């Protein structure tokens, strides 16, 4: 059982829709991450939140907007996405971002399809 919970598991949306992906963890972790994963490829880092503040934005297009309402929750707001944005979106968490030797724990992801 994963300790990082992501909803929804699947999402189909049109290019003009607005939707949000949600991620929750109750491990007391202070760092949370969004990744994008295409088929047969490794996860690509999108955003890092450390202590509820955005630490890293890997030059992600503004149609992806992250939000960290509190230390347990992470959202990814989607608007005007393109077909090439179809992918598995993974959330992960770790004890904190600046600590040494800390694994990241992943959720099962949201499979996103853009029509």
Partner 1 sequence: DQQVKQNSPSLSVQEGRISILNCDYTNSMFDYFLWYKKYPAEGPTFLISISSIKDKNEDGRFTVFLNKSAKHLSLHIVPSQPGDSAVYFCAASAYGTSGSRLTFGEGTQLTVNP
Output 45 or 80, the one with its CB closest to partner 1: 45
Which parts of this chain interact with partner 1 (CB under 8 A)? 2, 4, 6, 31, 40-43, 45, 48, 50, 55-56, 90, 92, 94, 96-109, 111
Shortest Å distance, C-beta 87 to partner 1: 13
Q: Which is nearer to partner 1, 16 or 100 (CB)?
A: 100
**Closer CB to partner 1, residue 81 or residue 104?**
104
Least separation in angstroms between CB 106 and partner 1: 4
Those residues whose C-beta lies under 8 Å from the C-beta of residue 18, and which sit 6 or more positions away, are 77, 78, 79
């Amino acid at each position: 059982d994963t300790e990082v919970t992501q909803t929804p598991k699947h999402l189909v949306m049109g290019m003009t829709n607005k939707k949000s992906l949600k991620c929750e963890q109750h491990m007391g972790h202070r760092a949370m991450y969004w990744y994008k994963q295409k088929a047969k490829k490794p996860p690509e880092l999108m955003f890092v939140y450390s202590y509820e503040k955005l630490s890293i934005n890997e030059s992600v297009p503004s149609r992806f907007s992250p939000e960290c309402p509190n230390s347990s929750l992470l959202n990814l707001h989607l608007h005007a996405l393109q077909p090439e944005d179809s992918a598995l979106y993974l959330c992960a968490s770790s004890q904190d971002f600046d600590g040494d030797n800390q694994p990241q724990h992943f959720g099962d992801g949201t499979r996103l399809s853009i029509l």
